[in-house]
Amino acid sequence: MPRVSAEHLAVRRDHIVAAALRCFARDGFHATSVRDVVRESGLSAGAVYSYFRSKDDLVAAAVEPVVEGLLHAVDEAVLDRGASPGEVVGRLLERIYPLVVEGDVDYTRIAVTAWAEGLRDPAVRGIAQRTYGRVRERLSECVAHWRDAGHLPNDTDPEVLGQLLFSVVVGFVMQHALLGDVDPHRYAAAATLLLPPAHGGADR
């Protein structure tokens, strides 16, 4: 086997992941086989298997960048401790759009198929529980901060309010993938409008 550069290896790996993403977005995780990804990539089966030993490895590689991007977007959106719930969720949405709907692959379709796959496949469910668990934790920390700063009542439950704020993201993803009629930026603006403003706690 000829020696190839690390850069060449990385380019080829990215090529395979891109082929897998096209398959997953089109057909779902469940209906996509490694053989489909081989065909989509135009490479040999041996080449694909030298990078990914199983479909699970391909799934993990395909979702990893968007999982990391999602967590990074949450961290950035919650940085400003003075921001209101509406502002934080609006910013979070604006930060995830480039990741999930403005690139070559519509990740909202991949997310919805991953949810369904997670109902049956413990490995996929585990990835979802860890990732989404971390997102909700960050949102709950914000809620606790808003409560302590007097913007929400003292008996506010940060855990369940984190779940509710997370629903704004989940609902966008589902409606974008399945119903196809949600405008991302109008949706973010609506979230900023509807959720409590920074000073909204006083009269609640």
The CA distance from 15 to 99, in Å, is 18
Return the residue of 85, 87, 138, 139 that touches a copy of itself, per CB under 8 A: 85
Q: Does 31 bind a copy of itself (CB under 8 A)?
A: yes
Helices (H) then strands (E): counts for the chain: 9, 0
Q: Does 126 bind a copy of itself (CB under 8 A)?
A: no
Segment interacting with a copy of itself, rule: CB under 8 A, options 33-41, 63-71, 73-81, 166-174 = 166-174
Pairs from 106-109 (Cβ < 8 Å, separation ≥ 24):
106/25, 106/176, 106/177, 107/25, 107/66, 108/172, 108/173, 108/174, 108/176, 108/177, 109/25, 109/177
Q: Does 194 bind a copy of itself (CB under 8 A)?
A: yes
Return the residue of 128, 139, 140, 142 that touches a copy of itself, per CB under 8 A: 128
**Which residues, numbered 145-164, are part of the site for a copy of itself (CB under 8 A)?**
152-153, 156-157, 160-161, 163-164
Q: Does 203 bind a copy of itself (CB under 8 A)?
A: yes
